[in-house]
Chain A
């Protein structure tokens, strides 16, 4: 009897059996799943829970406040929230378009054979390698209103007769943030696109040339359709990066002036750490997550299947 039970157990844990091989997979990914649950899912549940409580500063292990939707009521009726949504949308469009435009162009450029291509490729990837906070501090110096490089250049080149108030003008501040983000974001697009371009067989281009296709036609009908799978994923990742990026705006403008660069992530921070309204901050964070999920689904879901 005991032998039968032991044999049964052995069979169950015999991971070499084809019918048990999936168990090995689960066992191997279990630590990673538990880790993800601990550092992503649990805080997410806490944030959702917090967003339904009227709480100023929460305390770990402290008693929960009664369920309330007041944070969401405040959020939807708040002009600040809709302004942050608008700024985020503008920034997402401008920075994503800018990063994809510059990134794709540079990828096409360094995909060609020319003298110094290796150096050009390294130079293209350099902004990606520079730590974000260091890059932003350098840009903050270059955009400095009193002694900045860009203002000095504008005067020297005759574009302006005095220094440009990059951080104290709503329009200039938005563009200062956008330019910095494009500079930091385009190498990722370049690297991804370059990988995609190198996977396109050169025979296609040779055949098109024989058929008399122009450069633009080869780009339009060969490069773009075959690059779309890579470009689609890159677009979503860039969009999500712009959505959640915090340090560039925080260091450069702090969300100002007049909230002209206050995105949803800056608003979340301000509500939590400036005004000590953690309940409201959690509500902004949860809504940002929902918007990101919807945007990703729209871009990667059925409707965008055609791009693949």
Chain B
């Protein structure tokens, strides 16, 4: 009996020790939540994982919970989390959506943190976008320039040279749009644009032609500048491209990229992220990257890192350590070597990246060209209303195409509606 009691006591004690032991590390860990749409992006996702691994190595007992949220519902997810007082500690947002959170006072001003560590942000590409009401509320993670990728086999078979201007681009797109098997359905497109999905992406796609025509939505002071001859020309070009059938319609950007990567499209204007898709496509060996024929190249800020203003101070320090780590020259270099992206840091050593990513010099050149011209997708003065503005522009452009309206009249309507939105 006595033995049995002893055994039971021993068993209970062992179980208790093992249970406590199992809990102990979990209790000691601090977990930082980090939600992103890039967790499994080719290259960029791996870069984030490497930064997390290095951070966890430098901070024993601190874990980063890296969770994916789809880009299509990302803003909804973040809005819900902030509204429910449950924001992730590491805030990753697109550069056109952080403004609403900053305007509500939910993002920590980062100037004191930068000052404390003596970090000089001079020359950091796109960092000005992160200033909100005179304060730095985020760090620009990516600033990019658009490039043109083309399928040399398709252009070669059509006997077309690589286009250098809008007119040549349109002619090449028309010449390479074909019904290959004669069933009445186009199987090969000259180019491709997303026309189904978010208005933000629609705006980005049409902006290539608008900028090339010398137009933009606002000036540097934030005045609406849509009703101009240049904008009419830009809208005319967009209408021409979409009505001439050289692009598939009602497709999402990822479907268009896949189509291009699989050799069913001759040319595609896109950002650095296209490379990840083309590397996995069946036409990989035929794809060449060059500077876009539409100049200056579309470019601008892409995504930012920030921290919520109402998390405990010890967590703020950890989040800042993580942000700082991603800003180091080493990680800025690996942002290029691993992610295939153009790092925003002026101190990043990107020498030799072209050995693994042959078109990297083109990416750098277009990023610099866009940066020098001050090009950005988010128009000055309309940051807070970007979604409403982009939806209005998308709808008016669709109306122009569907109802065959005069671009000059459409520009006037857009101007009036944009002024109403701005208030």
Contact = CB atoms under 8 A, between A and B. Distances in A.
Contact of A56 (B100, B196, B250): B100
A285 to B, nearest CB: 15
B246 to A, nearest CB: 12
Interface stretch (B27-35, B36-44, B75-83): B75-83
A274 B388 contact: yes
A133 to B, nearest CB: 12
Given A60-B85, A145-B250, A275 B402 contact: no
Interface stretch (A34-42, A163-171, A288-296): A163-171
Interface stretch (A86-94, A223-231, A254-262): A254-262
A57 B398 contact: no
A273 B85 contact: no
B248 A275 contact: no
Interface string B86-123: 00000000000000100110000000000000000000
B249 A165 contact: yes
Contact of B395 (A258, A272, A273): A258
Interface in A80-123: none
Contact of B398 (A145, A155, A258, A275): A258
Contacts of A167: 196, 249-250
B100 A155 contact: no
A59 B185 CA distance: 51
A235 B237 CA distance: 49
B197 A254 contact: yes
Nearest to A277: B388
**In the complex, which of the residues A146, A161, A162, A167 has the most CB atoms of chain B within 10 Å of its own CB atom?**
A146
Interface string A155-179: 1000001110111111000000000
Contact of B251 (A146, A273, A275): A146
Contacts of A152: 185
Given A56-B100, A58-B83, A59-B82, A258 B402 contact: yes
A57 B79 contact: yes
A146 B196 contact: no
Given A145-B250, A275-B388, A155 B183 contact: yes
Interface in B241-259: 248-251
A143 to B, nearest CB: 8
Nearest to A251: B72
A25 interface: no
B391 A146 contact: no
Contact of A61 (B85, B184, B402): B85
B204 interface: no
A254 B387 CA distance: 14
A76 interface: no
Contacts of A256: 395, 398
B399 interface: yes
B84 interface: yes
A224 B47 CA distance: 66
B185 A147 contact: yes
Interface of B: 75-76, 79, 82-85, 100, 103-104, 183-186, 195-197, 248-251, 385, 387-388, 391, 395, 398-399, 401-402
Given A254-B196, A259-B395, 6 more contacts: A56-B103, A57-B79, A146-B185, A168-B398, A257-B398, A273-B76
Q: Which 7 A-B pairs have the closest CB atoms?
A: A146-B248, A167-B250, A145-B250, A273-B76, A155-B184, A257-B398, A274-B387
